[in-house]
Each structure stands twice: as structure tokens, then as C-alpha cells.
Amino acid sequence: MRTRNALCLGVFLFGLTRALALCQGAPDSRDRPHDAQGWPTQAVRASHGMVATDEELGSEAGVEILKRGGNAVDAAVATAFALAVVEPAAGNIGGGGFMLIRLANGKTTFLDYREVAPDKATRDMYIGKEGKLDEEASVIGYQSVAVPGTVAGLALALKTYGSMKLADVIAPAIRLAENGFPISKRLAQEFEDHRPALQRFAVSRRIFLNDGKMFQAGDTFRQAELAATLKRIARNGAAEFYSGETAHALVDEASRLGGLISLDDLAKYQPKVREVLRAKYDVSGHAWEVLTSPPPSSGGVAIIEALNMLQSVPLKGWDDVESVHMVAEVMRRVFADRAAYLADPDYSNVPVAGLIDPCYAKEVFATVDTQHASSSKAIRAGNPHTCGVSASNTTYPKTLVSLGEGPHTTHFSVVDAAGNAVASTYTLNNSYGSHVTCSAGFLLNDEMDDFTTQPGVPNALFGLVQSEANAIAPGHRPLSSMTPTILLRDGKLSFVTGSPGGPTIISATLLSVLNWIRLGMEPQAAINAPRFHHQWIPDRILMERAFPDSLEAALNARGHATRRVGHMGLVNAIAIDPENGNRLGAADPRHDGAAVGY
């Protein structure tokens, strides 16, 4: 006993949180049973708090704050800063995102800290000579960078709903950056995969490519510049990032290297507080409520519209061709509406009430053939309206917009001992963003590519035609698919979910909701279950390879075009056991996600 206590004391003194968790008996995801492909089959169970992320060190940072008496918002802010250190591909302080908060007293809020276009941005800034799009300029280098929102958003969340000081919650991230952490095999491979773009920028080359010598799995990865920046933010708050030394470093480099961001752009950036979208459903004798993301997220509207259309559809599971067919047909129609109507609500009239109205869902669903695939050429956006209002009295422009987000966003979920919950998704857009690293030690986003870069031309990444509704304009926020979502069961917290993955964010999150509410899956099974996606254009179902060939053949027989993909989405969720209130952490094994609780 004396030896064990001495070990725990030493661990505390040196801040080794992983060993501390072991001393205190924290659940370890490696102790659970696994299936044939090595995926855990049971959620991590804990009686107090839980954090689920893509990276174990990020989850541990959040749990460290929970153990110190912090609430879910404190832990979420700590987790976000820690992921900025240990998950450079997507975790960030140089990007932006969304945070959905539901407090134990029932209060909810949605924080939008999406990036915005700089004042010098123009509609045709990526169109070169002869009217051709410079496809690289919007994704690589300083010209692709939008004004970051993450630091302002996290600071606002902490100030409004947290209970700890910024210096306290940012401490785990500083420690990870300063002392370093072992590079995993996956991270070493990521650096190698992104070497061609990272090596074009001196700071990126030095930090992430070991100045050309390349890191190997097991090497310690230290980020001294990032640690110094985090320390300045800890001392001076978000103002450091938006008007202090960090701001000047970012702007000085941008001005020399073709970027548009000015000190004025940074100084006037403000996160937005928006009203949470809600929808209620009665399923199997329980009253369910969905809390989800409003515009400029398109995901919350899409998920509620889909759930409305599927209310009367019997779902048997994803090995049943009729279930997959019906959900795919619903996705097809939801994405047609998404393309027509969703945009930045501060600058566009988005018919949210009509799109999420059950009456409208019935009209749209009536066009579904239960036995045969529709043709996307014949499917167009509907005319959304609320019950009792004639559709002919309200008109909206039929424009098409881009889908938003590269596939390398990241989502994390947090629940504390009191029942406060946070679902948060944030992004650099594409993996490693613009691949430019500021001298202050952090990667910068390439979020300008989420705008319409060439109206009327198909989006190269996801294939949708783009239009003026999402065109580049100073101060505008690009449309997003990020969809942090929380479910209530009979008025009580039940499920916290979300995903990265570009447009597949919507389908991955929707499927996790259906798996939990409609199919009654255990939490880890709800995350492990195979995923599929239809986005209207291109007209095909994307299917993970885990689906049997027989199901694909049956879908083809119904007229669906299909294409196999590897993994789709990375859902990190937390469920609540209705019997005893235990937190059930279900991280996505597709990325070796980690749920950590206590």
C-alpha cells in the first residue's frame, strides 16, 4: 500500500496523467473484449464523468479537469486545447467549429465559432487567367486561411458556462506541448503522407517533419513554440490570440506570404451564440428529444428532416436491404434540400422552420418508392413551409451550394458527474489545413475552400454544383456539415454524439442517432455499425467495406449505384445507462478513438 501511494504521489507531482488514471482505477479501453478486427465490443463504463475523443491523451486531459472538480464545459475546453497539441491533423487553435452545451438544469446553448472570410477576400479571388480556378490556392498556403475562431469560442464557453480559470484548463495542453508525447505509428505515417505539402513551409517542415529527418513511431514530439503560445493565452486570455503577440506574428507572416488576414480581422472576430434546434419523437413508449446544430450548420436541419421522414418507416437493421434503401432515399432528398436552402443565416433567408416541419417531411417522403431507387436527376428540392401555410405563398431561390468541411475534422463528447454535457466538433477543414504553420507553433486552416470558389462548377472534393449562396464575401461564414448532437430520453440526458467527415458527418451522425433510438443498439455497437451515405449528387450510395456483398447486390437490383469506401466518419459518443446513470463511453475504433472516464 505504501509503495502504491508513493507511486501515485510521484505521478501527481510530475503530472503524468495516464499513470495517475491507472492509480485511481480509471476505466481502460484496452481491458474490454474485442471483435475479430480488433474493435472493442463494449463501451467504457464509469460512474462519474466521461470524455470520448480521437486521441487518448486528449480524453485524459478532459478527465483530469473533471477529477479536479471542473464541469463538462471546463473539461471540453481542456480537451479542445489538448487535441490542438496531440492531433495536429484536425485538433486546432488555428481553425474553428461548433459547441453544443446542455446543462443538467436543462439550459441549452449553441456556440458558433466558425471561421470567417477576411475583409480583403473577394468573390473571384481564386479565379486565375482565362477564368480558370487555381485549385491549389484555396487549399494550400496563406491565401486559403480564414480568420480562426477556436480560441475565441473556447474562451466564451469557459467564461459563460465553466467554473475554472483558463490557465487551469489549458495546463494539460501546455504540458503535452512542452514535455512532449510519444509519436504513434499512425501519427508518424500522417507526417509522411503530408510531407509533400508540409515541407513547402519552413516552420511546418521543422516542427512536423523534424527538419526533414522525419519522426519515427516512439519518438517524443515536443512543440516549444506552441507551448509558449498556449502559455501566453493562459496568461492573457483570448485577447492574446486576437490582438497580442500571436496576432502580430500571424499577420506579419500572412502579409509576407500572400495571406489576407489583418489585425483588424482578428480584433473584430466574434463567436456567435445561436438557438439550439429541437425535435421530439415518441419511440417504443419513450419521449425522445433531439438537440442539434442550427445554421450555419446544415447538419441539424438535415438530421431532423430525415428523422421526420423516417418516423413511420420500420427499420430492421443495416443488414436489411429495405432499411438501407429507405434511409438512402431519405438522405437523397434531405441533401437536395440542403443544397438548395442552407447557408450563413446572418446573410441568407434560411427556411429552417419549414424544413424541419413534420408536415413538409410527409410531402417529401410521399415521393419515395419503397422498392426502387429514385434518380437524382428527377429529384429536386421541395418548397418548405410550416403547417397551415400554403407552399405557394412562400418562395425560396433554388440555388446549389457546396458541402463544406474536409474529411479531417474531429468530434469529442463530454459528460460530467452532475449530468452536464458537451458535444463539440471543430476543424482545420482539410487534414493539416493549409499546411502552413504560424511561427507561433500552430497550423492554420484552409477554410476558404469551404466557400463557393467557382459558381456554377462542381465542387472538386464532393461533386456538388456551387452557387452564389455560399460565395466568398468578407465577414461571411462558410456553410458547414458539422453536427454536434445531444439526445434526451424522457427528459433526461441519454446520448451525446457527432462526427467529422465532410458531408458524411450528417449521415454518420444520423446513423448513430438511429442506432440508439430506433434500433436499440448498445452504445459501442451503435458506433461500430457499418455506415452508408447518399448526398443526392453524385447519385450513388457510398458503403463501408463491412457490408456483405449480398446487400450491395440487393441495392443494385433496386437500381442504386454503389461504391465501396474504407471508413466513413469518426463518431465519439457517450451514452447514459438508464438503469444506473453510468456514463458509457463509445469512441470510434476506425481511428483508435479513446473513451476515458472515472
With respect to residue 538, please indicate whether it lies within any of the assigned structural domains: yes
With respect to residue 396, please indicate whether it lies within any of the assigned structural domains: yes
Residue 538 belongs to a domain with what CATH number?
Answer: 3.60.20.40
Q: Based on the residue annotation, tell me whether 409 is a catalytic residue of this protein.
A: yes
**From first to last of its 598 residues, what are the pLDDT tens digits of the chain?**
333 333 333 333 334 344 334 334 444 445 678 888 889 999 999 999 999 999 999 999 999 999 999 999 999 999 999 999 999 999 999 999 999 999 999 999 999 999 999 999 999 999 988 888 898 999 999 999 999 999 999 999 999 999 999 999 999 999 999 999 999 999 999 999 999 999 999 999 999 999 999 999 999 999 999 999 999 999 999 999 999 999 999 999 999 999 999 999 999 999 999 999 999 999 999 999 999 999 999 999 999 999 999 999 999 999 999 999 999 999 999 999 988 888 788 888 889 999 999 999 999 999 999 999 999 999 999 999 877 665 544 444 444 444 555 556 899 999 999 999 999 999 999 999 999 999 999 999 999 988 888 765 655 555 555 557 788 999 999 889 999 999 999 999 999 999 998 889 999 999 999 999 999 999 999 999 999 999 998 999 999 999 999 999 999 999 999 999 999 999 999 999 999 999 999 999 999 899 999 9
**Residue 115 DSSP code:** -
CA dist., res. 55 & res. 591, Å (int):
8
Spot the catalytic one: 53, 150, 246, 409. 409
- Bridge-based pairing state of the strands 562-565 and 541-544: parallel
With respect to residue 327, please indicate whether it lies within any of the assigned structural domains: yes
List the domain range (segments joined by +) for residue 551.
275-404+483-597
Reported in sequence order, the residue ranges of 259-389 that DSSP labels E, i.e. its strands, are: 272-274, 277-283, 286-292
With respect to residue 79, please indicate whether it lies within any of the assigned structural domains: no
CB 267 within 8 A of CB 314: no
For residue 237 the three cell numbers come to: 486570455
Number of domains in the chain: 1
With respect to residue 221, please indicate whether it lies within any of the assigned structural domains: no
**Residue 397 DSSP code:** -
With respect to residue 346, please indicate whether it lies within any of the assigned structural domains: yes
With respect to residue 441, please indicate whether it lies within any of the assigned structural domains: no
- CA nearest to 481, candidates 509, 458, 448, 522: 509
With respect to residue 323, please indicate whether it lies within any of the assigned structural domains: yes
- Rg for the chain, CA atoms, rounded: 23
Write phi, then psi, for 552 (nearest 5 degrees). -60, -40
